[in-house]
């Protein structure tokens, strides 16, 4: 079966118009082959399965309805071509009803057209997939085994976010769907897609492993006075061995955020504009939970117009009511962050280049000093970090704030060379740091 499929595969290649790039179907449109994108240059600890072959005769083209709901057609095609085939989405589709795609197995999806979502906000309120973690919800959920989704640099997933930004400005209790959720996706890739106008986080990668995400182009901005808030690029959760690379992200909020139980994650070659940085956390938010983030390598990312570029945010050790209406409540969780490296980060017009905040959400310093975080930070390294701050906190270029002597260990900085617009040497606000391990440039640590 495997041999027959691969012979078929090579025959398919002989028929292609442009052999390297497309698969031809006699009498049917050709479609681009899955691109050969590899993790580069940092390699994951465990190889991501990227070589699986597909049967070139098992191809399902999805014909869109006339502006109706295409969810059923897409689901049917994926059922039919699951287990060895390719589904081609090369036209314009609209999804108006929930789409559960967690059954995928050994399948490719060539999304070279456009998928957008109906803006029936009232309908979606009652029909989103809902998850317990941070009220995450979405109109579709992806998952399975050995699944490759590729857009060949033309595919678009469009969230029609403007309707949601405007509606949310008028009603803050509205649930806003995440543009894309992977829930239990083991092995495969997501590449070459444009993600546009997400109502909420762009990507939530949960319960997943062994994935390569590459060549994604994200752009979401509000054109009205309503703020497009909480538009994280990627959030990882309960996931292992994920590579996110070579992408451009234009939005607000975290560019990438590592939520609880994110392990062995590489983030490289991103260009993030206008974000809150590449962030660990927040962790320790809930008293009954144990949060783990470990073995991250964050390499060669350019951060422009951000509040903070490299960030770790951890709640204090006791649950407390914060400001706000409804009040913001958090803290008291346990866990650890271990072996996190930020290597080569270019700063362009950011408030802070580095921020460790182990007092995240604390109302005042004494709340955090009285209840130091129980999420312990160890083996965190910042190296080869350079560029220019925007002057917002001039001459302060960063903060390294731990909750106590015991809640942080082996926090190091090497070859950090920030410059301030004022020309003043950078200052770093530190609390409970071992200053001998911190080569931060400028005047180094000052008390926070």
**Active site residues per annotation:** 276
Nearest approach, Cβ of residue 152 and ligand NAG (Å):
20
Q: Would you say 199 or 260 has its CB closer to ligand NAG?
A: 260
Sole binder of ligand NAG in the list 69, 145, 217, 367 (CB under 6 A): 367
Tell me the window of 57-65, 77-85, 105-113, 256-264 that interacts with ligand NAG (CB under 6 A): 256-264
How large is the greatest C-alpha to C-alpha distance in the chain, in angstroms? 73
Q: Would you say 171 or 225 has its CB closer to ligand NAG?
A: 171
> Can residue 269 be called a binding residue for ligand NAG (CB under 6 A)?
yes
Nearest approach, Cβ of residue 401 and ligand NAG (Å):
16
Sole binder of ligand NAG in the list 52, 119, 384, 388 (CB under 6 A): 384
CA distances from 293 to 243, 265, 279, 377, 412 (A): 15, 9, 11, 10, 17
Site for ligand NAG in 130-149 (CB under 6 A): 131, 133, 136
Distance CA 12, CA 25 (A): 8
> Can residue 290 be called a binding residue for ligand NAG (CB under 6 A)?
yes
Contact string 77-116 vs ligand NAG (x = CB under 6 A) = ----------------------------------------
Nearest approach, Cβ of residue 57 and ligand NAG (Å):
35
Can you list the alpha helix ranges (DSSP code H) found in 32-119?
71-81
Q: Name the β-bridge partners of 239.
A: 262
Sole binder of ligand NAG in the list 329, 415, 419, 434 (CB under 6 A): 415
Contact string 37-56 vs ligand NAG (x = CB under 6 A) = ----x---x-----------
Phi first, then psi, for residue 373 (nearest 5°) are -60, 145
Sole binder of ligand NAG in the list 200, 239, 250, 358 (CB under 6 A): 250
Kindly list the residues in this chain that would bind ligand NAG in the complex (CB under 6 A): 41, 45, 125, 131, 133, 136, 171, 173-174, 183, 206-207, 238, 250, 260-261, 264, 269, 271, 273-274, 289-290, 292, 295, 297, 300, 302, 304-305, 339, 344, 348-349, 363-364, 366-367, 384, 386, 415
């Amino acid at each position: 079966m495997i041999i027959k499929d691969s012979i078929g595969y090579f025959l398919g290649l002989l028929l292609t118009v442009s052999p390297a790039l497309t698969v031809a179907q006699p009498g049917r449109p050709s479609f681009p082959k899955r691109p050969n994108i590899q993790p580069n240059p940092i390699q994951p600890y465990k190889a991501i399965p990227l070589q699986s072959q597909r049967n070139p005769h098992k191809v399902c083209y999805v014909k869109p309805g006339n502006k109706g709901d295409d969810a059923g057609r897409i689901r049917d095609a994926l059922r039919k071509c699951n287990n060895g085939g390719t589904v081609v989405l090369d036209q314009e589709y609209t999804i108006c009803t929930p789409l559960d795609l967690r059954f995928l197995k050994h399948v490719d999806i060539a999304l070279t057209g456009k998928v957008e979502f109906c803006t029936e906000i009232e309908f979606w309120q009652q029909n989103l997939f809902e998850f317990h973690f941070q009220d995450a919800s979405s109109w579709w959920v992806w998952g399975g085994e050995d699944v490759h989704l590729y857009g060949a640099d033309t595919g678009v997933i469009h969230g029609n976010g403007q309707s949601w930004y405007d509606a949310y400005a008028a009603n803050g209790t509205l649930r806003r769907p995440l543009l894309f959720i992977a829930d239990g996706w083991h092995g495969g890739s997501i590449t070459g897609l444009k993600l546009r106008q997400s109502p909420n986080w762009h990507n939530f990668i949960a319960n997943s492993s062994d994935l390569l995400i590459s060549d994604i182009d994200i752009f979401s901005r509000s054109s009205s006075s309503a703020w497009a808030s909480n538009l994280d690029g990627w959030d990882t959760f309960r996931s292992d061995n994920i590579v996110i690379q070579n992408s451009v992200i234009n939005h607000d909020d975290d560019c990438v955020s590592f939520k609880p139980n994110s392990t062995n994650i590489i983030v490289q070659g991103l260009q993030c504009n206008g974000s809150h940085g590449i962030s660990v956390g927040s962790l320790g938010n809930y008293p009954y939970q144990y949060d783990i983030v470990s073995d991250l390598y964050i390499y060669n990312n350019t951060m422009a117009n951000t509040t903070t570029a490299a960030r770790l945010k951890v709640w204090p050790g006791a649950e407390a009511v914060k400001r706000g209406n409804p009040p913001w409540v958090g803290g008291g969780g346990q866990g650890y962050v271990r072996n996190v490296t930020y290597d080569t980060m270019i700063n362009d017009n950011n408030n802070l280049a580095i921020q460790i905040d182990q007092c995240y959400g604390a109302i005042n310093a004494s709340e955090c000093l009285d209840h130091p975080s129980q999420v312990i930070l160890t083996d965190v390294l910042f190296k080869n970090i350079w560029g220019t701050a925007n002057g917002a906190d001039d001459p302060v270029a960063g903060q390294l704030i731990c909750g106590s002597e015991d809640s942080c260990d082996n926090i190091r900085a090497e070859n950090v060379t920030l410059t301030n617009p004022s020309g003043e040497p950078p200052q770093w606000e530190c609390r409970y740091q071992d200053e001998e391990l911190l080569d931060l440039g400028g005047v180094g640590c000052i008390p926070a």
